Structure formats: structure tokens, C-alpha cells
């Protein structure tokens, strides 16, 4: 009897693709040639680092500069680039360069990879996404070289400029300063701070927003509804975050800083905790209110179809709009003179619910292994939101907690909803539907 061929759907293909990328990266980083001391890393540690890079998170067990050789750093950079753009985007780029035909199945997978709304024009959107990525990273590397090269020499300065430009645009959070304290040593430097913030924002907007920007320019009325929501929500969160951090951390993490430096640090914190993973202020010095605000912004994250993670700013916006409509006793959820369909609202609630449950599950596992509740919750949100910020517990995680954080990073990059869909079977819709009945809510 002939064997039955297993056909993977688009979500399962993406999940397996990212898993294979992480496994390959783990093998390469475990090689002695990847470490400066010439000794092979424990495979779980190498796999953790590969997952953090591929899932553009930035949680690290070892300092990237002092632990890894140029080869190891190059492997991490490649994982960040492929993970940030999406491995399917890179494979389509290769197919286009080789003039190969892209079939319907590849286009379907690509829709999930770049977050497209329809299959038509998907290859054009992918090409534009690649051009935007290379342009932003190239421009960022040139500007950063003006700061790095005079301080580290031409060769190392250029490498550090390229590495940080890619890491920023892909919202990865890996750095090569070698301090083990992220970017705290350059907190008062305007050029690198502003360039890195700009790259993080550009990567976090998403390729659909960039497509509207390049197609329609400043004619916002002609943008997709998705782009309008992402752009408006991102601006609101950035401005609100800057103001909140500026005043909340005046006597805590930003204590002693001049007003201009404090404003720069507040702006950087507002940007980076929405999935970038860099920090210019010590996170353990944040006030309780500042820590909570950081976790909220990490939970929200960047836009769908971007290099960032989180529950996604547009998804959370849909929840707020839906709740606001309910409070006003409106049947429809309207925004920018458009009505959101019920399926979109239901998917938003489901996505955020699964994301929240993943955070709680990861927190529970780490608490069982002796990590304090606040640090465990912070670490779990940072991992599943692919942020990369930590309160200093990452290098000291027990083995089970390492594996838990690794799985959270994977779920955060592929999408918690997508992972749940990938491991469940597709069932046909029944012809007969059950009788509806109301229950009390709220």
C-alpha cells in the first residue's frame, strides 16, 4: 500500500523553517572556532544563543563580543538578518536572483512570513521589503561608522557599525561593546542613540507600512487601514513612553542626568523596550512604575509583519477599539472611517490570549526554579515578545528555564497563535452548528 505523503500548511512550514535555522545556528556556534577560548560551547547554550539571534530577541548567556570570535559573530549576524527578514523572504530573494518561478504554495507561505493581507503582489512586496531592509541598514551603518571608526579603528569600527545597524533594524538587541551591560556606556552620545532608535522604529513599523509610505508618500488617506493603525499607535506609544519615563525615572534610573541626557535616555527606553532589546539605563535601577511600564510596552511590541515581536501594536489596538465600542454600546468597531470585521476582532482576542498564557506559563516554570516573580515575569515577557531586555537573570538560568525561554522566543518570533495552529490538526467545519446560548460576561 503506497505511503501517504504529509502535506504541511504554510504555518507549519514557517515553524519548521525557523526550527531548522535555529538548529543549524546552534551547531555552528557550538564549534570551537566560534569561541575565543577555543573550547566548544555546551550545545544547549549554543542553541539558546542561536534561538535568540534567529528570533531577533537579544537575550544572551555570554557577552557577544568577549565570548565569540569573528566567525561566531558573523554567524550571529547572519542569523539575525535571516530571522529578522524571515527565512522565506531570503529564499524568495535567492529564487528571484536565479530567475526561478515562484509557485502558489511559496506565495502562500510568503504571505505568513511578511504579514501580507493578500497573495496578489506578494513578490513585489517582498522585493520592496528587501530593498527597504538593505537601504536602512546600509544608511545606518554609514552613520554609525562616523562614531565607531574614530574610536575603534577603521576595520573594527566598520564591523561594529554594520553589526549594530543590522541588529537594530531587525530589533535583535545584540551588541559588540563588550561591557556586558548593553549600551549603558554610550547613554549620552546623541549620534549612535538617534541612529539606533531610528533603525529600531523603521524595522518595527512593518513592511506593509513601508509599502504604503513608498507608494503613497504623505497621502495618509490612501494608506491601508493596517498602516494607519500601526503608524498612529506607534507615534502615541512613543510620545507617551518618553513623557512617562522622563518623569518616572528622574530620581531613579536617570538620577543625576542633565535634562537633555535624560530626555535622550527616556526616548531610547521608550523605543527599545518595544522589542529592540538595547538599554542605555540599568534596568535594575528602574522604579517599580518604570519596570511595569517597560513590561507593558514589551508586551505590546511592534507592528505585524515587521522585524519586531510582541503581541503586536495593531492587535492590541483592535482590542482597545473593540472594548471602547462595547462601552459606548456600539455594535460595530469603527476606526478611520472603516469597520473592522468580526473575524479580525476574534483573531485579535485569541492571539493576545494565547500570548498572555505563554507569558504566564513561562513565568510559572521559572518561579518553580527559584527565580523571583518580578524577574521571571520580566524575563518571560521579554522572551515571548522577542525583546531581549533582562534584569540580569539570563546568564544564571537553570537548564529547564533556559529551555523554557528558548521555546518562548521561538513562539514569539513565529507567533504564539501560529505555533498553536501549527501543532493542531485542521478539522473541517461541521455542517450542523450547535444552538447558541448566552452566558454572563464581566
pLDDT tens per residue, range 298-355:
999 998 888 888 899 999 999 999 999 999 989 899 999 899 998 889 989 998 999 9
The whole-number pLDDT of residue 427 equals 62
Distances (CA, A) of 93 to 96, 105, 216, 320, 432: 5, 16, 25, 37, 45
pLDDT exceeds 90 at position 248:
yes
CB 366 within 8 A of CB 376: yes
Give the helix/strand (H/E) hosting 333.
strand 333-335
What's the rounded Cα separation, in Å, for the pair 387 and 271? 11
CB 270 within 8 A of CB 245: yes
Mean pLDDT score, 4-10: 61
Total H helices, total E strands in the chain = 18, 2
* Cell, residue 296: 507593558
pLDDT exceeds 80 at position 149:
yes
Q: How confident is the model at residue 78 (pLDDT cuts 50, 70, 90)?
A: very high
Mean pLDDT score, 260-264: 94
Mean pLDDT score, 146-157: 95
The whole-number pLDDT of residue 179 equals 84
Candidate from 64-73, 176-185, 259-268 with smallest mean pLDDT: 176-185
What's the rounded Cα separation, in Å, for the pair 413 and 308? 8
Q: How confident is the model at residue 218 (pLDDT cuts 50, 70, 90)?
A: confident
pLDDT exceeds 80 at position 98:
no
pLDDT digits 0-9 by tens, 185-199: 999 899 999 999 999
What's the rounded Cα separation, in Å, for the pair 273 and 189? 19
CB 165 within 8 A of CB 171: no
Mean pLDDT score, 240-250: 95
Dihedral in degrees, nearest 10, Cα atoms 251, 313, 309, 123: -140
Q: Quick one: DSSP state of residue 59?
A: -
Mean pLDDT score, 292-301: 94
Q: Quick one: DSSP state of residue 177?
A: S
Q: How confident is the model at residue 276 (pLDDT cuts 50, 70, 90)?
A: confident
Got the DSSP string for 265-332?
HHHHHHHHTTTT---SS-GGGS-HHHHHHHHHHHHH-S-TTSS--SS-HHHHHHHHHHHHHHHTT-SS
CB 117 within 8 A of CB 207: no
The residue whose grid cell reads 542569523 is 79
Q: How confident is the model at residue 85 (pLDDT cuts 50, 70, 90)?
A: confident
Mean pLDDT score, 232-257: 94
Q: How confident is the model at residue 88 (pLDDT cuts 50, 70, 90)?
A: low
Mean pLDDT score, 10-39: 88
Report if pTM > 0.75: yes
CB 253 within 8 A of CB 281: yes
The whole-number pLDDT of residue 113 equals 54
Q: Is 33 helix (H, G, I), strand (E, B) or coil?
A: helix
Q: Which residues contact 389 (CB under 8 A, 6 or more apart)?
A: 58, 173, 272, 273, 277, 279, 283, 294, 298, 378, 382
pLDDT exceeds 90 at position 240:
yes
Q: How confident is the model at residue 119 (pLDDT cuts 50, 70, 90)?
A: low
Neighbours of 362 (CB within 10 A): 25
Q: CA end-to-end span of the chain, whole Å?
A: 55
pLDDT digits 0-9 by tens, 411-435: 888 776 666 655 666 666 666 777 8
Candidate from 118-127, 315-324, 371-380 with smallest mean pLDDT: 118-127
Q: How confident is the model at residue 1 (pLDDT cuts 50, 70, 90)?
A: very low
Amino acid at each position: 500500500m503506497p505511503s501517504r505523503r504529509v502535506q504541511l500548511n504554510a504555518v507549519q512550514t514557517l515553524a519548521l523553517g525557523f526550527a531548522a535555522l535555529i538548529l543549524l545556528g546552534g551547531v555552528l556556534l557550538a564549534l570551537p572556532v566560534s569561541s575565543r577560548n577555543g573550547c566548544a560551547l555546551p550545545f544547549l547554550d549554543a542553541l539558546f544563543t542561536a534561538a535568540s539571534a534567529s528570533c531577533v530577541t537579544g537575550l544572551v548567556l555570554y557577552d557577544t563580543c568577549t565570548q565569540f570570535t569573528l566567525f561566531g559573530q558573523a554567524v550571529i549576524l547572519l542569523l539575525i538578518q535571516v530571522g529578522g527578514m524571515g527565512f522565506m523572504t531570503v529564499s524568495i530573494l535567492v529564487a528571484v536572483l536565479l530567475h526561478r518561478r515562484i509557485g502558489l504554495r511559496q506565495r502562500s507561505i510568503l504571505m505568513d512570513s511578511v504579514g501580507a493581507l493578500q497573495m496578489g503582489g506578494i513578490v513585489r512586496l517582498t522585493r520592496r521589503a528587501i530593498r527597504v531592509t538593505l537601504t536602512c541598514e546600509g544608511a545606518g551603518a554609514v552613520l554609525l561608522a562616523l562614531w565607531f571608526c574614530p574610536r575603534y579603528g577603521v576595520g573594527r569600527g566598520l564591523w561594529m557599525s554594520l553589526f549594530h545597524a543590522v541588529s537594530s533594524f531587525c530589533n535583535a538587541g545584540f551588541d559588540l561593546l563588550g561591557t556586558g551591560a548593553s549600551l549603558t556606556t554610550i547613554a549620552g552620545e546623541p549620534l549612535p542613540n538617534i541612529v539606533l532608535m531610528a533603525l529600531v522604529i523603521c524595522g518595527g513599523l512593518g513592511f506593509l507600512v513601508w509599502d504604503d509610505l513608498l507608494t503613497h508618500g504623505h497621502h495618509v488617506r490612501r494608506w491601508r487601514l493596517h498602516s494607519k493603525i500601526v503608524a498612529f499607535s506607534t507615534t502615541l506609544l512613543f510620545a507617551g513612553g518618553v513623557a512617562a519615563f522622563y518623569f518616572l525615572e528622574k530620581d531613579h534610573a536617570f538620577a543625576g542626568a542633565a535634562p537633555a541626557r535624560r530626555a535622550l535616555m527616556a526616548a531610547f527606553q521608550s523605543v527599545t523596550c518595544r522589542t529592540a532589546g538595547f538599554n542605555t539605563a540599568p534596568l535594575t535601577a528602574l522604579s517599580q512604575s518604570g519596570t511595569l511600564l517597560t513590561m507593558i510596552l514589551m508586551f505590546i511590541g511592534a507592528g505585524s509583519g515587521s522585524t519586531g515581536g510582541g503581541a503586536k501594536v495593531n492587535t492590541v489596538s483592535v482590542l482597545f477599539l473593540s472594548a471602547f465600542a462595547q462601552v459606548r454600546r456600539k455594535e460595530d468597531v469603527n476606526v478611520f472611517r472603516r469597520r473592522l470585521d468580526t473575524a479580525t476582532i476574534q483573531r485579535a482576542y485569541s492571539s493576545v490570549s494565547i500570548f498572555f498564557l505563554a507569558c504566564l506559563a513561562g513565568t510559572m516554570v521559572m518561579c518553580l526554579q527559584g527565580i523571583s516573580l518580578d524577574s521571571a515575569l520580566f524575563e518571560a515577557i521579554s522572551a515571548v515578545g522577542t525583546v531581549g531586555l533582562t534584569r540580569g537573570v539570563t546568564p544564571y538560568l537553570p537548564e529547564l528555564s533556559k529551555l523554557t525561554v528558548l521555546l518562548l522566543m521561538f513562539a514569539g518570533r513565529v507567533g504564539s497563535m501560529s505555533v498553536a495552529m501549527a501543532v493542531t490538526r485542521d478539522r473541517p467545519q461541521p455542517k450542523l452548528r450547535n444552538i447558541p446560548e448566552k452566558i454572563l460576561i464581566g
